[in-house]
Amino acid sequence: MKAAPFAYVRPATLDDAVAELVRSAGEGKVLAGGQSLVPILAMRLARPSTVVDIGALSELDFVRRDGDELVIGALVRQRTLEGHPLAAAVPLLRLALPWIGHRELRSRGTVCGSIAHADPAAELPAVACGLGASLEIAGPHGRRTVAAAEFFHGAMATSVGAEDVLATVRFPMARPGEGFGFAEIARRHGDFALAGVATRVRVSNGRAAEAVLTAFGVSDRPVTRDVTGLGDDEVADLARDLVDTAGDTHGSREYRQRLVAALAVRELARARRAAEGGTS
């Protein structure tokens, strides 16, 4: 299929982009990398009156360090971040990025675009939730910051309104004594995940002072739980309880429960080894 007719604009500033979205009266869509939007347009699952291409907004094309946070603008490609030297300060990003689609898709797809699209099986929303990232949204009434835990409302539904642009995402940098794990299971590499987990463990005085598990592909949004002090069996039971999606042709609910339980235990152990100075 081909996209339904739409107007196309390419503003020069973020303020102009917001103004165009306001002018479209809630019927506009933002185009950054296009790896999520273009297929939806082609299948006519979305029929915007206006596509607002933010590709000329150089003000949003940056990766920079701000205190103990890594700040990423809306035009930064996933492949760019994958090889960026500053990305080493957020190890969970480095672990997750290679799992996103294929290299060619990551060369066009943006970090903020994937987060704003909020596919339940996407990797970057889970990383944002697992790390407690914050999202800066530009809208007609100025800018506001939303914590990742409050940003995702459901499948492909977020705090970004019809007249808003997700301008930046801020990821906390790793602290001493922290380790991370990430894994997913898909039918083929590059396919949507049947189930996946992101883990973070902080070790202090030889014990796990904090352990966080985020599961994705198992609900309508990433699901994060504090699992500090839980044993392997308890973690597995909790992980199974996080799965609330029905089965499909690729796997039953029970199959996904077994997947996420096994991945959770393994990746928490991997994160702890990394926190204690072992290899991740």
Tokens matching residue 238: 């909790």
Per-residue pLDDT reduced to its tens digit, 117-174: 999 999 999 999 999 999 999 999 999 999 999 999 999 999 999 999 999 999 999 9
Tell me the average pLDDT across 10-19: 97
pLDDT class for 278, splitting at 50, 70, 90?
low
Per-residue pLDDT reduced to its tens digit, 213-248: 999 999 999 999 999 999 999 999 999 999 998 877
Interatomic CA distance for residues 242 and 218, integer angstroms: 7
Sheet holding 178-185, edge to edge: 178-185, 195-204, 207-216, 223-226
252: pLDDT strictly greater than 60: yes
Tell me the average pLDDT across 2-20: 95
- The predicted structure's pLDDT at residue 245: 86
More confident residue, 79 or 245: 79
The DSSP result for 212-272, as a single string, is EEEEESSSSS-EEEE-TT--HHHHHHHHHHT--PPPBTTB-HHHHHHHHHHHHHHHHHHHH
Tell me the average pLDDT across 77-83: 97
In DSSP terms, 181 is beta-bridged to 199
First-residue to last-residue Cα distance in the chain: 44
Highest mean pLDDT among 202-206, 209-213, 274-278: 209-213
Tell me the average pLDDT across 74-89: 97
232-241 and 253-275 are packed helices; what angle lies between their axes, rounded to 10 degrees?
Answer: 140
Share of the chain above pLDDT 90, in %: 90
CA distances (Å), 208 to each of 138, 174, 250, in order? 38, 15, 36
pTM greater than the 0.85 cutoff = yes
Q: How far is CA 185 from the centre of its chain?
A: 17
280: pLDDT strictly greater than 50: no
**CB half-sphere exposure, 174, CA atoms < 13 A:** 24
SS3 for 125-182, per residue? HHHHHHHCCEEEEEECCEEEEEEHHHHEEECCEECCCCCCEEEEEEEECCCCCEEEEE
Tokens matching residue 101: 């689609």
**Out of 42-46, 59-63, 197-201, which region has the weakest mean confidence (pLDDT)?**
42-46
Tell me the average pLDDT across 64-71: 97
Tokens matching residue 197: 């987990």
Q: Which helix (H) or strand (E) holds 191?
A: none
Angle 1-51-14 from CA coordinates, rounded to 5°:
155
